[in-house]
Structure 1
Amino acid sequence: MAEKAQSVVRGREVEKNLLSREQMIEFYRLMYLSRRTDDREIMLKRQQKIFFQISCAGHEALLVAAGMAMRPGYDWFFPYYRDRALCLALGNTVADQMLQAVGAASDPASGGRQMPSHWTSPKLNIVSPSSSTATQCLHAVGCAEAGRYFTRHPSAATKSETDYRAYKDVKFHGDEVTYVSIGEGSTSQGEFWESLNTASNGKLPILYIVEDNGYAISTPVEANTPGGNISRLIANFPNFHFAEVDGTDAVASYRTIVEAVEYCRSGRGPALVHGHVIRPYSHSFSEDERDYRSAEELEADALRDPIAKMQVLLLREGILDQAGIDELEASVNAEVQAAADAAVAAALPVASSILKNQYSEDLSPTDPRYATEPTASDDKNERTMADLINTCLKDEMRRDERIVVFGEDVADATREGALKGGKVKGKGGVFKLTAGLQTEFGSDRVWNSPLAEANIVGRAIGMAVRGLKPVVEIQFFDYIWPAMHQMRNELSVMRWRSNGAFSSPIVMRVPIGGYLTGGSIYHSQSGESIFTHTPGVRVVMPSNALDAIGLLRTAIRCDDPVLFLEHKRLYRETFGRAAYPGPDYTIPFGKAKIVRPGKDVTVLTYGAVVPRALQAAVKLHRETGIDVELIDLRSLSPFDWDAISTSVKKTNRVIVAHEDMLSWGYGAEIAAKIGEELFHDLDAPVRRVAAMDSFVAYAPVLEDVILPQPEDLYKAMLEIARF
């Protein structure tokens, strides 16, 4: 009797307070549609018509609840690979999902580039995800921050007639919510915790859904999470709304998520819903969960299947009878069958499409329009690289309201009121390159990040997806490695993996290099070749003030992600100072500069080796008459092969010099390409001059030996010239 009374109460609640009869039927249809799509994909995998399958089975009630509680095309969504039911509830179709499963050219999510279950839809604001776990938590933070920024600065959201970037009008809403979901296993990732910190501090309108099915592949939750329950670990984060729910119960899930969304939409802060769901199928079709789960455990999960529970609820409350359920399911089965048949017959991608959308096709930094001349000015004062980088940032921020700058210690001062009345001077970066930016543009546009490099880059990705132009700083190249995951698996591939639907054109400014006298291991590293090996990101490294301002302005105005490497030793060197070239001076990427013309030997280099090579070349010519042509590559990816080829064909001898280690370094690729394509033009072997295969030591007597010096370059030039 008690169970019957509880059932009646629940039925009345469904009808009167929460979901109408029609909504309940649609709720079940979406759940069943998701399950049958999974089942059809599994069949196609067995038939070898698709190549991978990972299911949403057992998560359907929680995810349909989330989809029905939120607003597609209004709110923003950063899902993960279990979120089929969410995306169907938002308006993604089975046809869309089947096209991705077969890897069709017409796959609207990726054009055949992503595995199945990587949902993407600009129309619905579903942002392209990767297979990496928890990385999207930081993107969601950046997206929410961007939405708040446009709400505070609505003029920045509208494309003006003077916009020079590939900008579009930005859609935003003052009460929008950003959704992000992960499995309970992913809560072990640092990016999840970093995102909680920033969401909590900023009271950001983010809805986290933790889909806890008890297993991270084969690792049970108690081995992954202390105490076996993530809700207990995060309960003390301020400004959060927390809720825990049986995610196999459709009505309870919907009630819980509606409350959480309302909390976020009201501006009170973020929310996290921890839903306990099941995983009735294996992690993916590539493994068998019976290898590590007992039959009794699997049977217990089957008794909680949300499909069966929802069907019983519909029958018990008289919302549908068995005939009605059979009719609904038959309709869904036919829809899934038709979508699968059409997908299997769809055309596959062609090889000529592989490089499409790897880089911007609208505003590439290699565009000739960036080849401009300095503007004549009465101000002839020569400035350092540091001065002109700071000037460029101010120029561009005055011109473009979408530019925001953040990183570790880049602000002048964080605490409110510190800058008023000149109480403090202001920091503006450890090298002072962002000095004065916060003072002029305010804390909405310039701020200090947590000491967490992945947090910086991950948030910037989410902001750029929404239309902001983040120019972020990693304080030292030596500490870039926590951000490597975001850079390699997210930033570089956002445009390519979404087939041009989304992009993240951020600028990462990074002080790099040694020759510091005492910089030691953790303040002297180079490693540019690791990033030039990453498609989708541009890499530049100026050696002087004029190139720095011209290349940085191009980096900011172009529509590709750029790693802008600034050699610390060159910031305030006498070498390479220049007068301010005006607010529109730009240099296209992929164009080298001949620093010193010559006819006997070509030296290819960049960064802090440029002035050292020039010193050696001048000395060599004075003492021996050997004439070195010194080329500053400036742009490392892309690099100027035409300039290299022209020079080598003229001199027939070439040295590639760089500060990073010799083995597997940047010069190896150029040397190999010269050997392959210019072999018959060479009168001597290609020579490399670089650092020892060692980290940089603290003692100057060791640093001098480890890094290439002018005398090393002099010796190499002389030997190659006389070969």
Structure 2
Amino acid sequence: MARSTVSAAERSKSTSSPSPSLNSSQEALSPERLIEIYRLMYLSRRTDDREIMLKRQQKIFFQISGAGHEALLVAAGLVLKSGYDWFFPYYRDRALCLALGVTAEELLLQAVGAAADPASGGRQMPSHWSSPQHHIVSQSSATSTQCLHAVGCAEAGRYFTRHPEAAAKQEGDYRQWRDVTFHGDEVAYVSLGEGSTSQGEFWESLNTASNEKLPVIFVIEDNGYAISVPVEVNTPGGNISKLVQNFPNFHFAEIDGTDPVACVRAFEEAAAWCRAGNGPAFIHGHVIRPYSHSLSDDDRLYRPESERNADALRDPLSKTQMLLLREGILDAAGINQLEKEVDEEVRQAADRAMRSPLPQPDKAEILKHVYSENYDPTSPALATAPARTADSQERTMADLINACLKDEMRRDPRIVVFGEDVADSSREEYLKQGLVKGKGGVFKLTAGLQTEFGSGRVFNSPLAEANIVGRAVGMAVRGMKPVVEIQFFDYIWPAVHQLRNELSLMRWRSNGTWASPAVVRVPIGGYLTGGSVYHSQSGESIFTHTPGIRIVFPSNALDANGLLRTAIRCDDPVLFFEHKRLYRETYGRAAYPGPDYMIPFGKAAKVREGKDLTLVTYGALVPRALQAAQKAHREHGIETEILDLRTLNPYDWEAIAESVRKTSRVIVAHEDMLSWGYGAELAARIADELFHDLDAPVKRIAAMDTFVAYQPILEDVILPQPEDIYQGIVALKQF
């Protein structure tokens, strides 16, 4: 572990000192370098000021500044390599982007919300940076989520170095937005404010970066305030460096982030540490915030004038200007000339940005990039018949999911599989010595994958769901194809932040310049006889409410195999729900269909023909609906048509409409609770668009509006049973 720190006394001295010293650097910066540092710092500040003016003139709609952080960020941008290293910044990082090569005009186009905004096409507010050219990955407003993306990106860079054949594997529209070149020593930069270090994803990212010795530089831009909350309220002891200093494999540096020379030195040391393969680095820069948190905030309400004046004495622009004057690098006239040129550059950039056309309010354009346009998993062309083989043995859903994972990993070296307990053994020597058989998941669906493909491609994650999905986002952005597992749907909730705000949004918020097509496999559902509250949950409607992510929910082995293959090969993120009760059920077993069997998304399966009513369902309700329909036919002669949706987003509206027009009666059944469940949307649309085809009200059958109990006699009442469906069929036919 390497450590370079600034003591409290030194920090106090740096606070009162108006300028840094060249002697603080082991290698003096050239005059030209120092002039460039000042120019970029001043450019960043003046771009901030121009945005503030435009906001006050009501020509833009939001402003948040990077003022006071410029020395730290310019140093990062000049030491690290644009288009070589990878960057996961946060909203204060204007100076970093400018130092990497983004122009002031490009930043101001985002403030305007112009169609030509290269970061988002007017979809994101200002200071949400993105540039594939410079490897600045699209950023959200959520704090610290990007830490896990940086970790995943660093893992991907290392993976491509060790598996060069994977970098050559490209499909869909990957080459439009991915740079899969690898150098072996690239660094992933990630930054956040000191308040964001309270977030769990920050700590999860340190955990993995430390364990895996990943080349990630964590940059804490500590300006003392998270909006109005001072650092000592967010951080025990008020100093994050003291809390993280025992993480192994790290290089640590706590510095005066307003001193450009100290900042350059810190980033040079951190980059050298990471590039040498020693592990991650942590730079804690003490900076200032001379402006309010944003123009929606007024820091005079919670900061006294004396504190604000003390910050002004540490302004990095003033300190760097004094350095240039004291060292004779520029005189007053030279500084004035530089500043005049920058002022004019910013003025012209703002004028061009204000003249730039705004996006057209066209619905088709607004929906563009919610999903991939270049590889459509709903295309009927994907459908392939099962291969005819000599192996006609019927296998379970668990067997055919495992077979699909093996097929796809053999086909595509970019695929990695990870999650909690998915490996055969994290202690690989036990497997090699034959001391253990291996686990391969709590349901054994990944059994044998590590044994065949090695620990580099199949491995266990920490017990942290956000860690799993967040790392997958970073890997997918970098060009890999992660297929990850959340062990139980009941514990998916820590990952919802990553699923809702990051994985599903990456393509749309960046206007199609980035994407993260990961597959997230999730065992789901009840009917387990003792599964209880925390092993029986359904909640698919929460995720079908999230644009940008495909939702798959097969009911049998053959569909699970074909749909999983489509999920892995498509270029969108996919939530792949696997009902635990169906893993090894007799119902739905099938022969192995071959390594290329695929089923398009959004195509329902008609599992029973009928003329009297339509029953729309999915998952574990499919075999229960079949039991109910058979009983209704035996006892009442009712012919029930059953549609298995198979995918919930997209879903097959055409098949539903065709069936309802034929039968004029419809039941929508699902396992989740009745109120606000997935069936409510289907019922509403049927009533809206097929009203004149109906001879009876739309009926819904679902679970009670409560949780699943442990005692089986209670579970049977709470969850919909075949008898409930049977009674519903009979009642609707008699209406």
Q: TM-score range by the shorter chain?
A: over 0.9
Q: From the superposition, tell whether residues 326 and 428 of structure 1 become closer, same or farther in structure 2 (CA, over 3 Å).
A: same
User: 1:416, CA displacement in angstroms?
Assistant: 3.2
SS in 1 for 2:430: coil
CA contact (8 A) 1:18 1:255 kept: no
Once residues 672 and 433 of structure 2 are traced to their aligned partners in structure 1, the CA distance between those partners, rounded to angstroms, is: 46
Residue 458 (structure 1) aligned with residue 476 (structure 2): no
SS in 1 for 2:522: strand
Q: From the superposition, tell whether residues 122 and 390 of structure 1 become closer, same or farther in structure 2 (CA, over 3 Å).
A: same
Q: Give, as a single letter, the amino acid of the residue that structure 2 aligns with 1:321.
A: D
Task: Name 2:284's counterpart in structure 1.
Answer: 274
Alignment of 1:245-644 (within 5 A): 245-352=255-362, 353-644=365-656
Match of 1:671 among 683, 702, 710: 683
Task: Name 1:706's counterpart in structure 2.
Answer: 718
Residue 80 (structure 1) aligned with residue 90 (structure 2): yes
Identity %: 74
Once residues 164 and 232 of structure 1 are traced to their aligned partners in structure 2, the CA distance between those partners, rounded to angstroms, is: 46
TM-score by length of 2: 0.96
Once residues 107 and 262 of structure 1 are traced to their aligned partners in structure 2, the CA distance between those partners, rounded to angstroms, is: 34
User: 1:164, CA displacement in angstroms?
Assistant: 6.8
| Per-residue Cα deviation, 1:199-256 (whole angstroms, up to 9, x for no partner) | 0000000001100000000000011100000000001000000010000111111111
User: 1:169, CA displacement in angstroms?
Assistant: 6.4
| Per-residue Cα deviation, 1:456-513 (whole angstroms, up to 9, x for no partner) | 0000000000000000000000000000000001011000000111100000000000
User: 1:12, CA displacement in angstroms?
Assistant: 6.3
Task: Name 1:184's counterpart in structure 2.
Answer: 194
SS in 2 for 1:309: helix
Q: Give, as a single letter, the amino acid of the residue that structure 1 aligns with 2:191.
A: S
CA contact (8 A) 1:413 1:427 kept: yes
Once residues 594 and 675 of structure 1 are traced to their aligned partners in structure 2, the CA distance between those partners, rounded to angstroms, is: 21
Once residues 67 and 327 of structure 1 are traced to their aligned partners in structure 2, the CA distance between those partners, rounded to angstroms, is: 24
User: 1:170, CA displacement in angstroms?
Assistant: 1.3
Once residues 562 and 419 of structure 2 are traced to their aligned partners in structure 1, the CA distance between those partners, rounded to angstroms, is: 22
User: 1:166, CA displacement in angstroms?
Assistant: 4.4
Q: Which runs of 4+ in 1 moved over 3 A?
A: 6-14, 163-169
User: 1:25, CA displacement in angstroms?
Assistant: 0.4
User: 1:587, CA displacement in angstroms?
Assistant: 0.3
| Per-residue Cα deviation, 1:428-466 (whole angstroms, up to 9, x for no partner) | 000000000000000000000000000000000000000
Residue 100 (structure 1) aligned with residue 110 (structure 2): yes
CA contact (8 A) 1:249 1:309 kept: yes
Q: Give, as a single letter, the amino acid of the residue that structure 2 aligns with 1:538.
A: R
CA contact (8 A) 2:521 2:578 kept: yes
| Per-residue Cα deviation, 1:611-662 (whole angstroms, up to 9, x for no partner) | 0000000111111111000000001001000000000000000000000000
User: 1:18, CA displacement in angstroms?
Assistant: 3.4
Once residues 120 and 246 of structure 1 are traced to their aligned partners in structure 2, the CA distance between those partners, rounded to angstroms, is: 28
User: 1:369, CA displacement in angstroms?
Assistant: 2.1
Once residues 20 and 101 of structure 1 are traced to their aligned partners in structure 2, the CA distance between those partners, rounded to angstroms, is: 35
Task: Name 1:25's counterpart in structure 2.
Answer: 35
Q: From the superposition, tell whether residues 11 and 135 of structure 1 become closer, same or farther in structure 2 (CA, over 3 Å).
A: closer
Once residues 216 and 685 of structure 2 are traced to their aligned partners in structure 1, the CA distance between those partners, rounded to angstroms, is: 49
Once residues 273 and 712 of structure 2 are traced to their aligned partners in structure 1, the CA distance between those partners, rounded to angstroms, is: 58
| Per-residue Cα deviation, 1:670-698 (whole angstroms, up to 9, x for no partner) | 00000110000000000000000010000
CA contact (8 A) 1:65 1:253 kept: yes
Once residues 594 and 7 of structure 1 are traced to their aligned partners in structure 2, the CA distance between those partners, rounded to angstroms, is: 76
Match of 2:206 among 179, 185, 196: 196
| Per-residue Cα deviation, 1:584-614 (whole angstroms, up to 9, x for no partner) | 0000000000000100010000000000000
Once residues 71 and 179 of structure 2 are traced to their aligned partners in structure 1, the CA distance between those partners, rounded to angstroms, is: 36
Task: Structure 1: give runs of 5+ residues left out of the alignment.
Answer: none
| Per-residue Cα deviation, 1:504-555 (whole angstroms, up to 9, x for no partner) | 0000000000000000000000000000000000001000000000000000
| Per-residue Cα deviation, 1:329-351 (whole angstroms, up to 9, x for no partner) | 00000010011111111111112
Task: Name 2:695's counterpart in structure 1.
Answer: 683
Residue 153 (structure 1) aligned with residue 166 (structure 2): no
User: 1:368, CA displacement in angstroms?
Assistant: 2.1
Once residues 663 and 621 of structure 2 are traced to their aligned partners in structure 1, the CA distance between those partners, rounded to angstroms, is: 21
TM-score by length of 1: 0.98
Once residues 248 and 220 of structure 1 are traced to their aligned partners in structure 2, the CA distance between those partners, rounded to angstroms, is: 19
Q: Give, as a single letter, the amino acid of the residue that structure 2 aligns with 1:201.
A: N
Task: Name 2:119's counterpart in structure 1.
Answer: 109
Task: Structure 2: give runs of 5+ residues left out of the alignment.
Answer: 1-12
SS in 1 for 2:459: strand
Once residues 156 and 165 of structure 2 are traced to their aligned partners in structure 1, the CA distance between those partners, rounded to angstroms, is: 13
| Per-residue Cα deviation, 1:266-305 (whole angstroms, up to 9, x for no partner) | 1100000000000000000001000000010000001110
SS in 2 for 1:17: coil
Once residues 193 and 383 of structure 2 are traced to their aligned partners in structure 1, the CA distance between those partners, rounded to angstroms, is: 48
Q: From the superposition, tell whether residues 710 and 296 of structure 1 become closer, same or farther in structure 2 (CA, over 3 Å).
A: same
Q: From the superposition, tell whether residues 563 and 187 of structure 1 become closer, same or farther in structure 2 (CA, over 3 Å).
A: same
Q: Give, as a single letter, the amino acid of the residue that structure 1 aligns with 2:725.
A: L
Residue 67 (structure 1) aligned with residue 77 (structure 2): yes
Once residues 247 and 383 of structure 1 are traced to their aligned partners in structure 2, the CA distance between those partners, rounded to angstroms, is: 61
